[in-house]
Amino acid sequence: MSVLVWHSFRISDWMTDYHGWWGPVVRLILPMFFALSGFLVAGSLLRVRSIHHFLILRTMRIMPALAIQLLFSAVILGGLMTTLPLSDYLRDPLFLRYFLNVFGLVQWNLPGVFQSNPVTIVNASLWTIPYEIMAYLLIVALWIAGAIRRPRLLIPLILIGQFVAPVAEMLTNRVPQGYGPLSGYVLVVAFTFGTALYICREWVPMRTSWAIASLVLALALLATMTGGYFAGPPAAYFTVWLGLRNPRRTAAIASADISYGVYLYAYPIQQTVVALFPAWRIWWFIIPVSLFFTVLMAMLSWRYVEKPALGHRKFLMAWSDRLGMRVTGVFRGS
């Protein structure tokens, strides 16, 4: 929801940037999200029996909803909002290239869609998908290396990664990746520290004073681009501390996980509101209208796409086990 609110400022006529006092607060949102993801995904990895089960679970959680959202944006939303004749729109190479987003190859635009908006991007939120995939592959690599169950090996490897990522970018003079306000590698680092906090949860105390200090440190580091590279550890600690407060959830929240749907649908819906109401391109109009339709689409996504897809995970894991046994049998027979 916080990303939706911020994007409402970014895509309106009241455009702003990340250089005001609010900059560090905005920059903290995504590292917190990735740190929480790393914490939860580590628990998922330790509960499953094998790497391929873990990959199936992650794939079923991400890909079906992403694929449907891309179809919605390209076919329905794009078909209605494009300034081109529909036949020209469907034949344009940009239309087909947009579906590369499902593989983490980010494509920003659709032909003739949102071209009169202050920002012409269809779904800027998708810039984090490649880094989410990278984070999953990294945790798999750590599992294969035996580090996930061995904190004494895991912590040094993560600390090495903390310093390798910024040094590599600085030495190659690379511009921070993606549409967002900081390098995508900061998100991956936050993910790994979230993972480490789960693995070491029995030894790392969650203290309020440490959490407050971590929040202050993270915000101070995120005040500069260079400092932002090192905001992952304090951001992860504060996020995990906050998550473990375990506030009471309403029945509606407990029955549906709409966070991923909100992430997928918010930006294109906001862009549609901006395009349809050019005289009302201001944050206090965009936020409530976009929020209503975003939550609606997120609930539909959970009910008809995400939840059914997750319902097939046991079947797919059993099928993968049978396939693995057959392949093993073939090699043994040869």
What is the structure's pLDDT at 9?
A: 74
Q: Which amino acid is at 80?
A: L
Mean pLDDT of successive 10-residue stretches along the chain, which has 334 residues: 75 61 84 95 87 89 96 97 97 96 94 94 93 92 91 92 80 54 86 96 94 97 87 96 78 70 96 93 91 97 95 80 67 60
Structural contact between residues 127 and 179, judged by C-beta atoms closer than 8 angstroms: yes
pLDDT in tens, 268-323: 999 999 999 998 888 889 999 999 999 999 999 999 999 999 888 888 777 777 77
What is the structure's pLDDT at 52?
A: 84
What is the rounded average pLDDT for all residues in the chain? 87
Rounded Cα–Cα distance for residues 195 and 178 (Å): 23
Q: Which amino acid is at 103?
A: F
Rounded Cα–Cα distance for residues 134 and 125 (Å): 16
pLDDT in tens, 212-244: 999 999 999 998 878 888 999 999 999 999 999
Q: Please compute Rg for the chain using Cα positions.
A: 21
DSSP string for residues in 85-141: -HHHHHHSHHHHHGGGGGGT------TTSSTTSSS--S-GGGGGHHHHHHHHHHHHH
